[in-house]
Amino acid sequence: MVNHARWRLAQERRAVQGHEEPPEIVAEREQIRLAHALGQLVYDRRTSLGLPQSALGERLGMTADAVEALELGGILPVTADLLVRLAGALDVTVDLHVVADGGNTVAFVERAA
């Protein structure tokens, strides 16, 4: 079992010591965090609609394995094309807030009937 809390503590300790990560590492970490957040949203919406991964895959034009990878945060980078396809397949509006210093957020808003 991997202890991610230990990674965070090590990262915080390095920050206190004045160590800064290269910008490309910070950007990659932010992409991974955003992909995981998106994956959780996809899983939650898919299950609330009662769709199996295969049915969502058909709507998205991908395999059930690709949907599983998406739900686990394994689809990188998160692209505008993917967000548009998800909005249609899950009948949601995708709200993506991007800020220069990280902390980007993604949310689904159910469309009114």
* Residue ranges covered by each domain of the chain: 26-110
Q: Considering the chain, what percentage of its residues have pLDDT values greater than 70? A: 88
Q: Is the pLDDT of residue 39 over 60?
A: yes
Q: Mean of the pLDDT values across residues 57-74?
A: 96
Q: What is the mean pLDDT of residues 95-104?
A: 85
Classified by CATH at the fold level, domain 26-110 comes out as 434 Repressor (Amino-terminal Domain) (1.10.260)
**Mean pLDDT score, 13-42:** 85
pLDDT over 60 (residue 1): no
Residue-by-residue DSSP string for the chain? ---HHHHHHHHHHHHHTT----HHHHHHHHHHHHHHHHHHHHHHHHHHTT--HHHHHHHHTS-HHHHHHHHTT---S--HHHHHHHHHHHTEEEEEE--TTS--EEEEEEPP-
Higher-scoring residue by pLDDT: 113, 28: 28
Residue 19 pLDDT level (bands cut at 50, 70, 90): confident
